[in-house]
Amino acid sequence: MKSTRGQSHVSIDEAIVQGLASDFGLFIPDEFPHFKMSSFADVPNLATYALRVLTPFFAGSRVKLNSEFCHQIFSFPLHLVPLNTNRYVAELFHGPTLSFKDFGARFFAQCLQQLASQNTIKVLVATSGDTGSAVASAFHGMPGVEAYILFPKDKISDRQQIQITCWGDNIHAIAVNGTFDQCQQLVKRALSTSDHPQQFTTANSINIARLLPQILFYVYASIRVMKQHGQAVNFIVPSGNLGNVTACYWAKQMGFPIDDILIANNANQVLVDFMATGTYQAQSSIETIANAMDVGDPSNLERLLALFSDFNHFKKQLNVASVSDAAIKAAIVDCYQKYQYILCPHSATAYHRLQDVSPNKPWVIMATAHPAKFNEIIEPLLKVAIPIPEQLQRLLSKKQQLILIEPHFDHFKTIINH
Ligand SMILES: *Cc1c(COP(=O)(O)O)cnc(C)c1O
């Protein structure tokens, strides 16, 4: 693995344990393996795809990436649901906490457990919604790990909050009286100022182990569509920190049959502005109803830029648009009226962009979370009750435990050094 800033070169194991490179860049693969499509003709399930596609990245690793490992992590389905003859929804939300973050969080947790030394590892994570619950679920009860999950108080949905605060044991939920950006600053400061850096790591999507398993979404969907239509697939990806769409570009780089890639943002339009001006300027995030995408300074932009030779090339290959809250609501209503299909607000940004695309090509929109996590937004719009999946139902009755703090580092430090 090498750093996007070029100064650091490490093994996959070191990249996972370090998270961020020592030159403060992000780790990316030195090179991408190439696959023949014919070798995927007989793949029975996601775990088998995972084994074939991810093994080359783990050459020489202490992580035992075998069939058992993959089956343990990819134990829930990924459904490709047709809306009509050439429009599909890829449902990435059938994991334990109902968002696509479960794939990356579970993969990361299993890797970390195999790579951990004797000492307790403290995993710090700032979340704008779904990462926190996925990480909590993935690490709950794991020996040798304490997880500290910071979320901005009152800025996530009630059900997102329950999924973070219901665990207890080695999971510490911390509600910060501030914004997501302030949560992230607390984590960064703890990581950069610790006297025992090897004791701390982060589970945010800067970690390469969160991104690699997401390549499978695009592998799986592109092969299915190729079989069905004899054509390359086109994707629309709801994006915030740009991790998921980076995995899509990586799958394309690896030779999977992918044609156009469209990015859908919410009203946070830092990327739209960058494309227009050619000058990158981080923005403070603004609150939207697609809250897991409220990002004003996407960390994975560095990984995307690293794929292209210069800004012009980058600009040609990236197609991004910002979708307002009003347009998200209209998309949820439209999709339900046309197809009786209920989208979450994030997935609805991708649906909105279907209006920009050629009708003659197969399109897949990535559905990143289950709508039942956002019942407060969707039910009043559609006037229907969203059935609650059983894995969420189980958590709803549990007792919530959280620590409330002001966004001050001293208080946070006391908690994590306890
Ligand atoms: C995290 C998240 C996103 C954004 O994904 P990135 O990889 O950060 O671009 C979109 N939708 C949902 C539901 C999420 O939880």
For range 383-388, the mean pLDDT: 97
Q: Which residue's C-alpha comes closest to atom 14 of ligand 1? A: 292
Residues 6+ apart with CB under 8 A from 418: none
User: Would you state the pLDDT for residue 153?
Assistant: 94
Q: What is the pLDDT of residues 273-284, one digit of tens each?
A: 999 999 999 998
Query: Could you give the angle at the alpha carbon of 329 between the alpha carbons of 165 and 216, nearest 5°?
Result: 60
φ, ψ for residue 365 (rounded to 5)? -95, 140
Q: Is the pLDDT of residue 191 over 70?
A: yes
Question: What mean pLDDT comes out for the span 49-67?
Answer: 95
pLDDT band for position 198 (cuts 50, 70, 90): low
Question: At residue 119, does pLDDT exceed 80?
Answer: no
Question: Please, what is the average pLDDT of the chain?
Answer: 93
Averaged pLDDT for residues 68-85 = 96
pLDDT above 90 covers a percentage of the chain that reads 80
pTM greater than the 0.85 cutoff: yes
Please report, in angstroms and rounded to a whole number, the separation of the first and last CA atoms in the chain: 34
Which residue, 211, 197, 210, 206, is CA-closest to 249?
A: 211
The per-residue pLDDT for 38 is: 82
What length is written for the chain?
418
Q: Is the CB of 132 under 6 A from ligand 1?
A: no
What mean pLDDT is predicted for residues 311-317? 93
Q: Answer for the pair 182, 160: CB distance below 8 angstroms, yes or no.
A: no
Using an 8 Å Cβ cutoff, are 257 and 387 in contact? Answer: no
Q: Is the CB of 99 under 6 A from ligand 1?
A: yes
The residue type found at 317 is Q
Distance 244 CA to ligand 1 centre (A): 7
- According to the model, what pLDDT value does residue 116 have? 82
Q: Is 184 in the pocket of ligand 1 (CB under 6 A)?
A: no
Ligand 1 atom closest to Cα of residue 344: 13
- What ligand 1 atom has the least distance to the C-alpha of 369? 13
Residue 241 CA to ligand 1 center (angstroms) comes to 7
CA-proximal residue: ligand 1, atom 8 (nearest): 241
Other C-beta atoms lying within 10 Å of the C-beta of residue 284: 11
What sign does the dihedral 78-79-80-83 (CA atoms) show? Answer: negative
Is the pLDDT at 199 greater than 70, yes or no? yes
Answer whether 136 contacts ligand 1 (Cβ < 6 A): no
Does ligand 1 lie within 6 Å of residue 240's CB atom?
Answer: yes
State both tokens at 197.
């850096």
Query: Is residue 383 pLDDT above 70, yes or no?
Result: yes
Distance in Å, CA 19 to ligand 1 centroid: 19
Query: Which of 132, 308, 151, 318 lies closest to 239, judged by CA?
Result: 318
Q: Which atom of ligand 1 is nearest to the CA of 214?
A: 7
How far is Cα 160 from Cα 133, in angstroms, rounded to an integer? 7
User: In this predicted model, what pLDDT tens digit does every residue of 292-303 receive, in sequence order?
Assistant: 999 999 989 999
Name the residue with tokens 């139902």.
Answer: 393
Residue 409 structure tokens: 């580092």
> What is the band of 197 on the pLDDT scale with cuts at 50, 70, 90?
low
* E runs forming strands in 6-47: 27-28
Place of tokens 């009043």: 380
Does the beta carbon of 407 lie inside 6 Å of ligand 1? no
The finding on whether 122 has its CB within 6 A of some atom of ligand 1 is no
Atom of ligand 1 nearest to the CA of 242: 9
Token pair 């990806």: residue: 237
Residue 319 has pLDDT above 70, yes or no: yes
Distance 195 CA to ligand 1 centre (A): 32
- pLDDT at position 344 is 98
* Ligand 1 touching residue 63 (CB < 6 A): no
Nearest CA to ligand 1 atom 1: 292
Give the mutation target among 248, 293, 303 for probing the ligand 1 site: most ligand atoms within 8 A of CB. 293
Q: Pick the more confident residue, 197 or 323.
A: 323
The residue among 254, 248, 271 whose CA lies nearest residue 320 is 271
Residue 205 near ligand 1, beta carbon < 6 Å? yes
Q: Where are the alpha helices (DSSP H) in 306-344?
A: 311-317, 325-339
- For residue 48, report the distance from its CA to the centre of ligand 1, in Å: 25
Closest CA to 320 of 289, 345, 349, 346: 349
CB atoms within 10 A of CB 293: 26
pLDDT digits (tens, 9 = 90+) for 229-282: 999 999 999 999 999 999 999 999 999 999 999 999 999 999 999 999 999 999
Residue 370 has pLDDT above 70, yes or no: yes
pLDDT for residue 96 is more than 90: yes
Cβ–ligand 1 distance for 91 under 6 Å, the answer no
